[in-house]
Structure 1
Amino acid sequence: MRPVLKFGAAAAVLGIATVAALSAWPVGVEPEPIELVGDIERGAYLARASGCIACHTNFEDGGAPLSGGAPLPTDFGTFYPPNITTDPDFGIGAWTVEDFARAVRQGIGPDGAPYYPTFTYPFYADFSDQDIADLWAAFQTVPPVAENAPSHDVVFPFDQRWGLKLWRAAYLDDPATEPLDGKSDVWNRGRELVRGATHCGACHTERNLAGARVLDAVFAGNDALPGGNDAPSIRSPDLIAGGWTVSNLAYALRTGITPSGDAFGGSMGEVVMYGTSFLTPSDLEAMAIYLLDSDVAGIEMADAAIPHATEGEAD
């Protein structure tokens, strides 16, 4: 056999072996049993904050809540969020709470396959067992929908899920949601929400060629969102320069109305409509205080400025 052919054959064998090894390479960790009793109302609140309804419901086509199917066009192809209703065949009705915990916190399905990072699981990694139990209890109240969401339409080589294991090794990071010493409880609550459940950095942070967030550009804005949208910088100096205050930012997150009287459009409009508009005044204030880095306890913000607030706290 000629040297070139030998080299080609060897390379092919090596490539096949590498793919096989990556396919067999386990990722994540097996979750501990979760036996806590979940609070349905708190779980529903956390689901709203986390964008579950907004992402997993195809509103344009009149889809049932959480039945999936809303297209997300990207440079890598079009992704379709799955059905996460209680249907046992097409949704998550056959899952255990541990399966659910692994999916939400680690981005790994019951079969051990990693999810694409269009699912914002990296922001949920610090959810507690009680958070998971609450979410699980809330999801059990969702009516089943016996309908499969479309399969992802992703171009090669991004359709090869084993490659996501390399992506995770290179780019998966833990969310910075832990409280910081020297900061108030309300500032730390805002940090927990902004960097965790509400995952503001998913849109307001630039992505690299691999689709990973550029971590030294967190909150600095992104002009290449799916669907041709863009997200401005939400760093404190830029917000302040733009005339944002704790009161008007909290109000905008509740109503979608900006200080100029304009309304949020595009993906931010959906974030407010299906997510932050359901948050309590205290959580909206906390988010605004954190984003503006205005850590002054007891900043005056009349509840009347945020009408029809959801009753109860998430803590």
Structure 2
Amino acid sequence: MKKLTIIVLVVAALFMGAAFAVALTPPKLDAEDVQNLAEGDPVNGERMFWAGGCAGCHAAPGTTGDDRLALAGGYAIQSDFGTFYAPNISPDKEHGIGDWSFLDFANAVRKGVDPHGKNLYPSFPYPSYVRMSDQDVKDLHSYIMTLPESATPSKPHDVDFPFNIRMAVSFWKKLFFSNEPRVALADASPEIMRGQYLVEGPGHCGECHTPRDSLGGPEYDKWLAGGPNPDGEGTIPDITPGSKEIGNWTEAEIADYLETGFTPDFDTVGGSMVEVQQNLSHLPRSDLEAIAAYLKAIPAR
């Protein structure tokens, strides 16, 4: 009887372990999910590149001009959980992502999973990029593959136990990772819907402008309402219609700010927003106006 009990407990433990492993296995896209896409368009891919701010993190620190297109990585992202370093995502086959398939790239961008099936940390803003269309992701991949190769090795993250357990990110994903729209906009115009796509998706504005809880998860009921700077000093402003920062700006003034870096009072963009504004200034005016229309249409906080 004792032997039978032990066998039952062992079998039960094996089943529980298997169920636990399955529950923590990061979901991925299948090849069938992306097989019917058009050929990648690097022209639109460049548009997504600037909308997504890719060079803001993946360009080597201190580089300027065209050198920023060699996406060697190394930018340090400070957080309460450790320091994360943006990796090399140049087309280099050894140190970058040159040997990744498009499916590998799409899984990283939209699912937060590397080619080996491991979770990526959400310091890479895939919780926003998940809202990108598959075609835009393919176009982005096509553009990145045209950029210079860099043989700079990626720098390992400086993250202590238990936050260095990547499998645990699966729990975080179950709590905070969703492709649902962050704001319900009934009967919105095509321009506002375009703005919603850019802000909530590739632009990943909520990654900084939405406050986070103790687990590092965005407080979506305070969408774009500002909060502590995730990099450390200062605060990130509220950019909803009720804010004291931009609440009284017109749509045209918001679009002008994103295009030129000047506020309606002729002050200049500052802090971490400098990089963001410089990236967004590459977008066509229609996209900037769409972003502005969305920011005026969302609820005030």
Q: Same fold (TM over 0.5)?
A: yes
Change (3 A) 1:24 1:249: closer
Which one is further off, 125-134 or 170-179? 170-179
Deviations along 1:181-240, one digit per CA (max 9) or x if unpaired, are 522111111111111111111111101111110111111101232131421111112268
Deviations along 1:125-174, one digit per CA (max 9) or x if unpaired, are 13223212211110110111111121000121101111111111122122
Aligned partner of 2:206 in structure 1 is 201
Aligned partner of 1:288 in structure 2 is 292
CA distance in 2, matches of 1:289, 1:105: 26
Aligned equivalent of 1:276, options 272, 276, 280: 280
Aligned equivalent of 1:74, options 74, 79, 99: 79
Aligned partner of 1:40 in structure 2 is 42
TM-score, with structure 1 as normaliser? 0.81
Pair 1:103-2:108 in alignment: yes
In structure 2, give the amino acid aligned to 1:54. Answer: G
CA distance in 1, matches of 2:172, 2:94: 29
Aligned equivalent of 1:59, options 50, 58, 61: 61
Aligned partner of 1:152 in structure 2 is 157
On the 8 A contact 1:229/1:267 being kept in 2, the answer is no
CA distance in 2, matches of 1:82, 1:243: 39
Aligned partner of 1:3 in structure 2 is none
Aligned partner of 2:263 in structure 1 is 258
Aligned equivalent of 1:228, options 230, 233, 237: 233
**SS in structure 1 of the partner of residue 252 of structure 2:** helix
Aligned partner of 1:28 in structure 2 is 27
Aligned partner of 2:147 in structure 1 is 142
Aligned partner of 2:120 in structure 1 is 115
On the 8 A contact 1:69/1:83 being kept in 2, the answer is yes
Report the identity percentage: 38
Change (3 A) 1:178 1:52: same
**SS in structure 2 of the partner of residue 90 of structure 1:** coil
Unpaired segments ≥5 residues, structure 2? 1-12
**SS in structure 1 of the partner of residue 195 of structure 2:** helix
In structure 1, give the amino acid aligned to 2:200. Answer: R
In structure 2, give the amino acid aligned to 1:210. Answer: L
In structure 2, give the amino acid aligned to 1:106. Answer: K
Which one is further off, 224-233 or 160-169? 224-233
**SS in structure 1 of the partner of residue 166 of structure 2:** coil
On the 8 A contact 2:51/2:280 being kept in 1, the answer is yes
CA drift of 1:270 comes to: 1.0
**SS in structure 2 of the partner of residue 237 of structure 1:** coil
In structure 2, give the amino acid aligned to 1:289. Answer: A
Change (3 A) 1:161 1:257: same
Unpaired segments ≥5 residues, structure 1? 1-13, 295-315
CA drift of 1:46 comes to: 0.5
CA distance in 2, matches of 1:178, 1:140: 34
**SS in structure 1 of the partner of residue 114 of structure 2:** coil
CA distance in 2, matches of 1:215, 1:234: 14
Change (3 A) 1:25 1:143: same
CA distance in 1, matches of 2:84, 2:273: 19
Aligned partner of 2:7 in structure 1 is none
In structure 1, give the amino acid aligned to 2:291. Answer: M
Deviations along 1:226-270, one digit per CA (max 9) or x if unpaired, are 131421111112268743111111111111111122112111111
On the 8 A contact 2:213/2:219 being kept in 1, the answer is yes
**SS in structure 2 of the partner of residue 78 of structure 1:** strand
Aligned equivalent of 1:185, options 187, 190, 195: 190
On the 8 A contact 1:39/1:137 being kept in 2, the answer is yes
Over aligned residues, Cα RMSD in angstroms?
2.5
On the 8 A contact 1:105/1:121 being kept in 2, the answer is yes
Deviating beyond 6 angstroms after TM superposition, the runs of 4 or more aligned structure 1 residues are 17-20
